[in-house]
A and B are shown apart, each in its own frame.
Chain A
Amino acid sequence: DSGVTQTPKHLITATGQRVTLRCSPRSGDLSVYWYQQSLDQGLQFLIQYYNGEERAKGNILERFSAQQFPDLHSELNLSSLELGDSALYFCASSVVAGGSANTGELFFGEGSRLTVL
């Protein structure tokens, strides 16, 4: 158990809909990262937050947005969903912005599997 909690574990929805994925980082971790894992694209970095502020952006679509709240939990919002958005979405956390002791080590949750029909 990494200590990172993600909900829901599974989500099935229809095209055009909007969903919210939630992540609670490990106790004491200030950074939250979101990754998308799909068969064709592999593991893609989406976005990172540190102590409530956006720190880095990766291949995140404009239809997607995220935020980190004062209690450090984070939400990833996916809107106008398309079939191609079906994927496993991972949240990861670390203590400092650049990873544990600045090595970049991340601790991953078990993911939220999104299926868009």
Chain B
Amino acid sequence: AQSVTQLGSHVSVSEGALVLLRCNYSSSVPPYLFWYVQYPNQGLQLLLKYTTGATLVKGINGFEAEFKKSETSFHLTKPSAHMSDAAEYFCAVNRKNSGYSTLTFGKGTMLLVSP
């Protein structure tokens, strides 16, 4: 079975500060990892994904995440927060060569950005 743990249901930062959203996963086989963002009253939008190759993955809006197998982590970072980054962020995992398996999501982290 696979699972995802997102540390902190809410994270508050000031505009211009570093954003760090934590995600740890468990998977019995090598995973595919994703970060999705949900803006208010909208659906989930893919920020970035790790499938294979380079462990540092760059996504949209200046976000990036690093896959660390030894730590079973896939933390999301952005060097400088912007007000428009305020949203809920979801980490998700899927098994490689998973066939018909589905994404398992974490409970989400709400990012609050203050001026």
Contact = CB atoms under 8 A, between A and B. Distances in A.
Contacts, number: 71
A2 B102 contact: no
Contacts of B108: 42-43
20 contacts: A4-B43, A42-B106, A45-B103, A45-B105, A48-B100, A50-B100, A56-B100, A56-B101, A90-B43, A92-B44, A97-B99, A98-B100, A103-B49, A104-B34, A104-B95, A104-B98, A105-B46, A109-B43, A110-B41, A111-B43
Contact of A108 (B43, B100, B106): B43
Contact of B102 (A90, A104, A108): A104
Given A42-B107, A42-B108, A103-B32, A108 B45 contact: yes
A102 B97 contact: yes
Given A98-B98, A98-B101, A108 B34 contact: no
Interface residues of B, number: 27
Interface range on chain A: under 10, 10 to 19, 20 to 34, or 35 or more? 20 to 34
B42 interface: yes
Interface of A: 2, 4, 33, 42-43, 45, 48, 50, 55-56, 58, 90, 92, 97-99, 102-111
Contacts of B77: none
A32 to B, nearest CB: 11
B43 A56 contact: no
Given A99-B32, A106-B103, 10 more contacts: A45-B103, A56-B102, A58-B102, A97-B100, A98-B100, A103-B51, A108-B36, A108-B43, A108-B44, A108-B45
